[in-house]
Chains A and B, each alone.
Chain A
């Protein structure tokens, strides 16, 4: 269980989170709110990449995360396949290729990430996160730049590869995510 208790966080004197509290127990959660409201800040706090100014963050020791960052953070000069294998030691080449084929065209595995379109990079970042051995999966705006068909396939892919892990998605668009528990960030 992850718990955020009265978290305050400011950047350059601009308060992004003001006494924000939330509990992520099990299942899926949708962090909802307009752009710039602090959803990504929440994610970065949970991942331990930034520290709160005030409040308490309760995260079990040794909790392992998989993440799809808002900016993808792929190895642009490496192939799609290498992007997955580089961070997933337990994933075989065949499994990675099969996962890529589920969401992307067949010849994508051998292409460099830098050569892919914005939407393809997004899906590659989702695949990389979903294949990672972890206790929780965090996807920050995973559907940005995807058309309706790709969005639907990506949601199906996420569900298929979730395997009972805790899921936290940030999105301002709820379509296809009705079963997730909504947490409003405001």
Chain B
């Protein structure tokens, strides 16, 4: 059953790659659109330069750190808001503003305040924070009140309340927040790198490919960014699944 599913996914991917190749052949202009073969060749060429891996590693590291900061801040403030209506009311406009401010505005502010080397970290945390805050707060607010009453009567330890009542209730909210936040953090983080131009970063590679009109190289960098976000998201989801089991 699983093999059948994998075959189906592989066939779908191959069809999309074929559509991409056909479009590239029809357009017949590698500056407008490079085909998958050219892109893979560009990727192989990038891999031969050690600084490529340093750039990918630096971007992944900064995005992950920003994601973690967003997770910790979002979760911590969601717990405080859950426990205190005053804190919740105080934070609601702040979170709404953060959610609605364009990413580019954050990037510019982060560049002014912290310089290009920290822009990825700041932007990915600012993007992740409201996602975790909203999801965790929603998960906490739908926690079964009757089970919490039971825990109160039995004087359950906080650690056990978290393990047996809060985590099962939060599980689906945490999973969807992680899935959403990691993708958004990568997108925002790399956008910030394209604008801020920190040395050795995926965004910087993208920018250089763009000014050189090297479309295949640009697509190769994009492919790396997509794959990195996909692999990291899967890895974190796997860890979370194990922890919440």
Residues on the B chain within 8 Å of A47, using CB: 149, 153
* Contact residues in A for B160 (Cβ distance below 8 Å): 86-87
User: From DSSP, what is the main secondary structure of chain B's interface residues?
Assistant: helix
* In the complex, A3 has a CB within 8 A of chain B: no
Cross-chain contact A86 with B156 (CB below 8 angstroms): yes
Q: Do residues A73 and B147 form an inter-chain contact, with CB atoms below 8 A? A: yes
Is residue A18 contacting chain B, with contact meaning CB distance below 8 A?
A: no
Interface residues in B, total, Cβ within 8 A: 16
Report the separation of the CA atoms of residues A69 and B153 in the bound assembly, to the nearest whole angstrom: 11
Query: A69 touching B155 by the CB < 8 A rule?
Result: no
**Which A residues lie within 8 Å of B157 (CB)?**
89
Q: Which residues of A contact B86 (CB under 8 A)?
A: none
For residue B150, CB closer than 8 A to chain A, the reply is: yes
Q: Does B69 contact A (CB under 8 A)?
A: no
Note all chain B residues with C-beta closer than 8 A to A69: 146, 150
The interface residues of chain A lying within 8 Å CB-to-CB of B115 are none
Complex Cα distance, B28 from A26, in Å, reads: 92
Are the C-beta atoms of B154 and A66 separated by less than 8 Å?
yes
User: Which 8 pairs across A and B sit closest by C-beta, in order of nearness?
Assistant: A87-B154, A73-B150, A49-B149, A67-B153, A75-B164, A86-B164, A65-B153, A47-B153
Which residues in B have their C-beta under 8 angstroms from that of A49?
149, 152-153
State whether B168 touches A77 (Cβ < 8 A): yes
A132 nearest CB neighbor, chain B only: B154
Q: Flag whether B73 is at the interface (Cβ < 8 A).
A: no
A37 to chain B: closest CB distance in Å?
21
User: Contact between B156 and A87 (Cβ–Cβ < 8 Å)?
Assistant: yes
A132 to B154 alpha-carbon distance, docked (Å): 8
A78 touches which of B146, B149, B153, B164 (Cβ 8 Å): B164
Contacts of B232 in A (CB 8 A): none
Chain A residues near B152 (CB-CB < 8 A):
49
State the Cβ distance, B161 to closest chain A Cβ, in Å. 9
**Interface bits A59-83 vs B (CB < 8 Å: 1, else 0):** 0000011110101010101100010
- Say yes or no: is B151 at the interface (Cβ < 8 Å to chain A): yes
B150 contact set on A, CB distance < 8 A: 67, 69, 73, 87
How far is B150's CA from A69's CA once the two chains are assembled, in angstroms?
A: 8
Please give the distance in Å from B156's CB to the nearest CB on chain A: 6
Give, as a whole number of angstroms, the nearest-CB distance from B75 to chain A.
22
Whole-angstrom distance between the Cβ of B224 and the nearest chain A Cβ? 40
User: CB-CB < 8 A to A65: which residues of B?
Assistant: 153
Docked-complex contact A71 and B153, CB < 8 angstroms: no
**In B129-185, which residues have CB < 8 Å from any A CB?**
146-147, 149-157, 160, 163-165, 168
Contacts of B163 in A (CB 8 A): 86
Q: For residue A138, which residue of chain B has the nearest CB?
A: B153
Q: Mark A116-141, 1 if CB is under 8 A from B, else 0.
A: 00000000000000001000000000
CB distance from B159 to the nearest CB of A (A): 11
Please report the C-alpha to C-alpha distance between residue A65 and residue B153 in the assembled complex, in whole angstroms.
6
